[in-house]
Amino acid sequence: MQDNLAEPITADEIARTALFSKYHFTRVFQRVTGDSPGRYLTELRFERARELLLSTDLKVVDISYEVGFASVGTFSTRFRERTGVSPSAFRQHFRTATPRTVYERLPARCK
């Protein structure tokens, strides 16, 4: 999943790669990670988006495509729902902070 964040990844494809049925794979995956494959993938995508916002000068639209969103609007809306701020505001607010300060300032749902 981590190597293909920009690609549309389905549980069926992952299950086939692991040589499991979709249903068996989903049960095992959830037991091991605590999340469904879809939720886990979404969290990986937002984690990578936060990293890119803080460590690069890529435009928000480019970051949204880089982490697998087909629409910058959807990315921005979901990012705001998760963090409480837009991607641009997140970048402006946290870019100059130390890593520890960034973590302390994040809303609890983002940690």
User: What distance separates the 2 farthest-apart alpha carbons in the chain?
Assistant: 46
Neighbours of 15 (CB within 10 A): 19
**Residue-level pLDDT at 40:** 92
Rounded distance between C-alpha atoms, residue 31 and residue 22, angstroms: 14
Query: Using one digit for the tens of pLDDT, what is the confidence trace for 18-65?
Result: 899 999 999 999 999 999 998 999 999 999 999 999 999 999 999 999
pTM value?
A: 0.78
Query: What is the per-residue pLDDT for 97?
Result: 63
